[in-house]
Structures are given as C-alpha cells and as structure tokens.
Amino acid sequence: MKPLTGKVAVVAGATRGAGRGIARMLGEAGATVYCTGRGAAGTPSGGRHAGRSETVEETAEMVSAAGGTGIAVRVDHAVEAEVQALYARIRAEQGRLDVQVNVLGSPHVQGFTPFWETDLSKDLPGLQSYVWPHIITCRHAIPLMMEAKSGLIVTVQESHALGYGGSIFYDLGPATLKRLMYDLAEELAPHGVAAVAIAPGFMRTEEVLATLGATEESWREVAATKKEAQDWGFAGSETPCFVGRAIAALAADPEVMRKSGAILSSWSLSEEYGFTDVNGERPHWGRYFAENFPQYANPATRTGRRWELVEVGAASGGGETTEETELA
C-alpha cells in the first residue's frame, strides 16, 4: 500500500512550479490531493504569470496519473470567503485533512533599495499580498486537523536560512512565514499537528526551463554551455518533484512531530529518508551553493550577528526554536 493512501491533502498554489511537483508526489504516495490556485480553466493566471497556460485542472490530472486522486478547485487564497468554501467542501466530501501545503507566490519587491528610500505605497501592499493568503489558509485548514489530532502544515520557502535577504521587504515576507510555522508549531503541539517550513533547491520549473531554453532532456547541456544558466547555478538544480517527495516522506513519518517548528530542506530530507529526484539523482543544493557561490552562502554581517535555529531538546514538547546567535 502506498504510504499516504486514505490521506487528504491540499496544495495551495498547485497551478505550476513547486506546487505542481508537490501535488504530483503526494499523489504518487497515494493521497487525495485538492489542487488549488488562481490559474484554472477559463480563468488564466495574472500578475507575473500572466500568459502562462498551466491550470489546476492539469495538475489534478497529473496527481491521478501518478497514483493518487486529484481534485482541482479554483481558489484565490487572498479571499477569505473562497478559502472558507474550500475547507467546507473538504469537510463535506472527505471529513478530514491530513496535509496542508502552501506554495503561494514569492516576495514582492520594488527593488533592493535602502528602507528609508522605499515607496511604502507599493511595498506595503506587496508584503500584505504575500503574507495574508498563508495566514487566511492556515486559519481555515487547522480546525479539520485539530479534530483528528494529527496533520502536517508546510510553507514552501526559497531559503532554509534566516539570514538577511538584502532588502527589508524581500526579507520580511519569508521571515514572517517561517516564524508563522514556528508559532503554529508551538500552539498546535498539544493537538498533534506539526508545522514546518521547507526550502527546495534551485528548481527546474516550467518557467525556468522556458527562460533558459531548456527541457528535462537537454538541461545538463544548457547548464554546461549557457552563461546565464551557469550564473544561476543550473547545474545544481532539482525538479519540483524533489521537494514533493520530501513533503510526502514527512507526511508519512509517524514521528513527524519531532520536526515541528523546524526549517527543513529538500536535500537534507533526501539524505534522511533516502528518496531521490524523479530522474534517480539526489541533488544537494546546499552543498552545491556553498561550493560554487561561497560569497552568498555565508555572507558577512555588518553587526556580527545572525539568526539561526538551534535544537533545545524536548523539555517542553520538543522541536526547535529561533535564537539570536553571536558570530565568532
């Protein structure tokens, strides 16, 4: 039997990219997956994805083809009424929710300018539009999990670290969502629900492949010959399914509460659980990035301090906490 047979998942932001890969791999593990997002048949994506053709219906078909049950629902996760309707439907149709994954866009920035030069009329709405959909979605997903006293909530983030992002508004969005998972982990610990942040490596999404003129068959050649690909670290990339298998492995782990509150990565979970990417390889973006981009992997700080996660044991429920650490 597949490890997630009988389990119900929501992948919020499943239209393309990491969300599509995650939905597919939860399906591969046997789950019923509600694939949600704004890009649906008859209502194409807007914003930075305007003109792209992917839909949640296509993703749901891929989930079913992988061995699960895919259900497409057009949802704008910034609209609370639509989110409420989604979980009311799941309650009526399934009576449970086991996995909630949020892949809801990327930080909005107008530019990497000093904070005192930012245009708040543009940057504040961008921050809100990035953070609020996660909060709204978690608020309405959690009650279904609490009733069963089990479940896993995941936010997918670009980085597994807590270092400064180079711009206050670029930094605040991801840092807030990582903190949200830690806060939820603390509140939900007595209820058996885990919450984590997970970072994939550099992914070969549909958009990245198109931008670089590559396919899954030709990407290695492109990585070796195209300067833009080399500048991006394309040779160390992974498919969106790699982080999907990471989340599927976590969801199937009966000891997942041990990781609640943590910031994890696709490559570290691959080493722990033993899964590979869909091409049979085991990419390790953390190691590749450190070896090829050392100036970014361990940047200097002006204060001599950085924020990190440190393990503090299981005295009050286990997990990890965030502390300010002085650099040597």
Is residue 252 scored above 70 in pLDDT? yes
Identify the H or E element spanning 283. Answer: none
DSSP 284-304: -HHHHHHHH-HHHHS---SSS
**231 within a domain of the structure (yes/no):** no
From the list 34, 170, 182, 288, the catalytic residue is 170
Is residue 153 pLDDT above 70, yes or no? Answer: yes
Q: Which residue has the tokens 């994890």?
A: 264
170 tagged catalytic: yes
Sort strands 193-199 and 263-265 into parallel, antiparallel or unpaired.
Answer: parallel
Mean pLDDT value across the chain: 90
pLDDT digits (tens, 9 = 90+) for 24-39: 999 999 999 999 999 7
In percent, the amount of the chain with pLDDT more than 70 equals: 90
Say which range, 65-69, 128-132, 135-139, has the weakest mean pLDDT: 128-132
pLDDT digits (tens, 9 = 90+) for 174-227: 999 999 999 999 999 999 999 999 999 999 999 999 999 999 999 999 999 999
Residue 153 lies in a domain: yes
What is the CATH number for 105?
Answer: 3.40.50.720
* Residue 230 maps to a domain: no
Is 1 among the domain residues? no
Buried b (16+ CB within 10 A) or exposed e, 137-154: bbebbbebbbeeebbbbb
| 114 or 274, greater pLDDT | 274
Q: What is the mean pLDDT of residues 127-152?
A: 96
- The token pair at 53 is 């053709």
pLDDT at 323 over 60: no
Cα distances (Å, whole numbers) of residue 13 to 77, 92, 112, 222, 232: 9, 22, 26, 28, 24
pLDDT at 151 over 70: yes
Q: Would the pLDDT of 101 be above 70?
A: yes
In a domain, 325, yes or no: no
Averaged pLDDT, 304-312: 82
| φ and ψ of 272, to 5 deg | -75, -45
User: Which amino acid is residue 277, in one-letter code?
Assistant: D
pTM of the predicted structure, to 2 decimals = 0.92
In whole angstroms, what is the distance from residue 240 CA to residue 246 CA? Answer: 10
Residue 326 has a pLDDT of: 40
- SS3 of residue 128 by DSSP: helix
Q: For 241-252, what is the mean pLDDT? A: 98
Domain-embedded: residue 318: no
* Paired tokens of 120: 């708040």
Residue numbers of the domain that contains 275: 8-203+238-303
Res. 265 pLDDT band, cuts 50 70 90? very high
Please indicate, yes or no, if residue 215 is contained in any of the structural domains: no
* Residue 222 belongs to a domain: no
Domains contained in the chain, number: 1
